[in-house]
Amino acid sequence: MASFFRRTISSQLVRICGGSEEVFIPLLSAVPVSKRQSTPEFRLAVSALVQNGFLSPEEDLLDQTERLARQLKVNSVIEEVTTGRGVINFRVNKLLLAQKVLSELREDPQTFGLKSEILRTLPRGRTLVEYSSPNIAKKFHAGHLRSTIIGHFIANLKQALGNDVIRVNYLGDWGMQFGLLGVGFQRLGSTEKLKENALQHLFEVYVQVNREAEHDESVRSDAADFYRRLEQHDEQALLLWKQFREITVQEYKRIYQRLGVHFDHYSGESFHQSKTQEVLNDLRKLGLLKTTEKGTGVVDLSEQGDMSSYSTVMRSDGTSLYITRDVAAALDRKQIFGFDEMIYVTDKSQSVHFQQLFQILRVMGHHWAHRCVHVPFGLVKGMSTRRGDVVFLEDVIDEAQNRMMHNMNQSKTSKAVSDPEQTADQIGISALIIQDFKGPLMADYVFDWERVLQAQGDTGVFLQYTHARLCSLLRTHGDETLTHLDASHLQDQRSVSVLQHLLRYDEVLLQSALELQPRYLVSYLLMLCHLVSSAHRHLPVKGSATDVAQARLRLFSGTCSVLASGMKILGVCPVEKM
């Protein structure tokens, strides 16, 4: 589809400018559809030809643009060539547009757009994505929810683009807090309650023991003692810790399943504990570990070697820190998984931490640290539920589900859904995800349930609603394979707009992958929904002549599958009825 048109235009450019089609193909961008006027399908920025040495930087750009445009010929594929300021616009034959787009969609709706030539410029390989990474016994805050859904999206996207993806959850399962938790559980814990609601119980114990530790010195020293025993692998201490960890992981797995999220590996800070001493030894051997007056171990990260920037990797008692464990974890992962790139997803407060981590790896001589990336995101304010401030992930999902159930009960169409609770769950989650993905990830935003769950406007509910409507249309009218498509029935402005928009899917995926930002895909899908809803309202299937009806059904079914595959990449499970 898009490749076919890009290639045809490129072959003309080769004829005039020389070079090869491969050079021109990525320079041709599909023009977004505008609601107000019809736009050309493809655009070439002439400055790119100057940059690539095909045009002269000396001569006036507008003159060169005009001359090049005159040399380009219209033919059976390219219908019109026009110029704008420094750009050349191409309009393609609309019959071909419909035929190419819809036949590719018919051949393999799942991979539509994903095999496009412009995506071949992306590096492929093994990608490790680390996301979610909550801390045992602590609050699962909105930041963890964001990390979970953003990381899931990045992993899905990388996978869809042909990478071998490894999904890792790096739990906060080690550190002084386990000394407190251990002591707290011995004093206040109940195995019964642990079985009933592990996350809640561990959290309560942790909060309570922290309170006691504030004014009771003996609690503090018991906790320090417990943690020491843990570090020395005391069997009993470890046994209790293991129980906390296992039960927590089990609970999380269940909740992640509701979100449609999964991991290949549950790792955590504890896993790399033993390796941290090796890391410190390596740093020492390389002459990178400096001891300060206070006895702590630091790595100088400044360019001038004047300690204007440094990272502390060892406490004065010789124990490791968060960053030391991260260095050990990165080295372990490289060894075990042999990844080509590694992506960490956390809120932006950890940006400095990750920049330091990558820098330490680089000064240690690990050149692959250049392919480690931190994807930071902003804060969410005001995420609360009827129970109050959000403490547990499940509370947010439950709240979304309940509110969605309530909305569905008030609408007439939803009565027919066979499993309303599950549907409400999925739509509620979609709404959370889309709301979160609409803006740049770095931006902070204020959470608002009313806005999140609106059925109209740019929400996850609207995406789901449009998808369900299309599914219902296809159910009613059948979606049998057509060998013949009469594209002349898809020449009205509404059909053409949908088709033209479909032409841009590969470019949107490319941009999403280059920037690791979901917002391009989100606005693309929302626009697709607006365009197809308008087409659906004005282009009836029922009551139309058979070949007209069939052509329209092809358009709707193709759109429906692109919508579904885009939603799945975002981590949104498309519902067929609502």
Name the catalytic one among 94, 100, 139, 144: 144
Which residues ranging from 96 to 155 are in contact with ligand ARG (CB under 6 A)? Answer: 130, 133, 135
- The yes or no reply on residue 346 touching ligand ARG (CB under 6 A) is yes
Name the catalytic one among 138, 193, 438, 568: 138
Dmax (CA) of the chain: 87
Size of the site for ligand ARG (CB under 6 A): 8
CB 12 within 8 A of CB 54: no
Q: For the packed helices 177-188 and 217-231, what is the interaxial angle rounded to 10 degrees?
A: 110
Q: Is 215 a catalytic residue?
A: no
Binding residue for ligand ARG, selected from 41, 104, 222, 326, defined by CB under 6 A: 326
- Contacts of residue 180, Cβ cutoff 8 Å, sequence gap at least 6: 206, 209, 210, 213, 219, 223, 226
Query: Residue 205 CB, nearest distance to ligand ARG (Å)?
Result: 19
Q: Is 374 a catalytic residue?
A: no
Q: 273, 299, 270: which is closest to 358 by C-alpha?
A: 299
**Interior CA angle at 336 toward 335 and 338, to 5°?**
65
CA dist 189 → 192, 205, 394 (Å) = 9, 7, 22
365: number of Cβ within 10 Å = 10
- The yes or no reply on residue 185 touching ligand ARG (CB under 6 A) is no
Binding residue for ligand ARG, selected from 227, 241, 344, 377, defined by CB under 6 A: 344
Distance of alpha carbon 508 from its chain centroid, rounded? 13
Query: Residue 388 CB, nearest distance to ligand ARG (Å)?
Result: 21
CB nearer ligand ARG, residue 1 or residue 342:
342
Query: Residue 134 CB, nearest distance to ligand ARG (Å)?
Result: 6
Task: Show the site string, 254-293: x = touches ligand ARG by CB under 6 A, - = not.
Answer: ----------------------------------------
CB nearer ligand ARG, residue 111 or residue 349:
349
271: number of Cβ within 10 Å = 18
- Contacts of residue 82, Cβ cutoff 8 Å, sequence gap at least 6: 40, 69, 88, 89, 91
Report DSSP letters for 4-37, one per residue. HHHHHHHHHHHHHH-S-HHHHGGGEEEPPP-SSS
- Give alpha helix (H) positions in 39-190: 46-51, 61-71, 94-107, 142-160, 177-188
CB nearer ligand ARG, residue 167 or residue 467:
167
- The yes or no reply on residue 311 touching ligand ARG (CB under 6 A) is no
Query: Residue 172 CB, nearest distance to ligand ARG (Å)?
Result: 4
CB nearer ligand ARG, residue 137 or residue 473:
137
CB nearer ligand ARG, residue 29 or residue 147:
147
Name the catalytic one among 94, 100, 139, 141: 141
CB nearer ligand ARG, residue 112 or residue 344:
344
Which residues ranging from 163 to 182 are in contact with ligand ARG (CB under 6 A)? Answer: 170, 172
Query: Residue 142 CB, nearest distance to ligand ARG (Å)?
Result: 12
Spatial distance between the Cα atoms of 262 and 458, rounded to a whole number of angstroms: 27
Q: Is 406 a catalytic residue?
A: no
CB nearer ligand ARG, residue 329 or residue 567:
329
Indicate left, alpha or beta for 197 from its phi (over 0: left) and psi (-120 to 50: alpha): beta
Residues with a known catalytic role: 138, 141, 144
Residues at the site binding ligand ARG, with contacts judged by CB under 6 A: 130, 133, 135, 170, 172, 326, 344, 346
